[in-house]
Amino acid sequence: MCATATVGITVTAGPPQIVSGYVFNDLNSNGLKGSGEAGTGVPLFVKLVPRSGSTCGTTATQAVAADQTTGAYSFQTVYPGDYCLVLDDNGTLTDVTPTIPSLLVNTTPTTISSVTVITSAVTDQNFGLKSSCEANAGVLSK
Ligand SMILES: [Ca+2]
């Protein structure tokens, strides 16, 4: 007589992680957030979009506003997987086309398509912006 063993296998996604960064005023236009570079003073949002391979999805699962003063943004609950981050001027999940106000230009790509969440927080996912002309510089420094 043969013994029978029943083995149950449960696959669960790992615990959620934080994805964070800054939408910052890139004063020296070098694409990097320097210690003296803070928020833009303009309402901007970052959207979390699932990614398959190198292709960003068509609907965001979460959107958060960046702090206008510090530039900081964070997604507190992101399950392991591949994602794009899209910088936008609204929080609408179905809009995954990056848009920034006309007074600003980007110094880094407005879509980050390299985020992979595994078992730890993903930080420093930064979007750099600067005034689109010298005449508008005061808008960013208020
Ligand atoms: Ca900089």
pLDDT in tens, 60-76: 999 999 999 999 999 99
77, 89 contact by CB (below 8 A): no
pTM (two decimals): 0.85
CA of 41 to the centre of ligand 1 (A): 16
Residue 138 included in any domain: no
User: Which residue would you say has higher pLDDT here, 131 or 139?
Assistant: 131
- Cα–Cα dist 114/140, whole Å: 29
The CATH number of whichever domain residue 51 belongs to comes to: 2.60.40.10
For the segment 43-51, the average pLDDT, to the nearest whole number, is: 98
CA of 61 to the centre of ligand 1 (A): 30
pLDDT above 70: percentage of residues in the chain: 92
Q: Are strands 72-78 and 45-52 parallel, antiparallel or unpaired?
A: unpaired
CA of 66 to the centre of ligand 1 (A): 17
Residue 117 included in any domain: yes
Range of the domain at 106: 17-133
What is residue 141's DSSP assignment? Answer: H
Residue 80 included in any domain: yes
Q: Are strands 17-25 and 127-131 parallel, antiparallel or unpaired?
A: parallel
Residue 8 included in any domain: no
Per the structure, the count of domains in the chain is 1
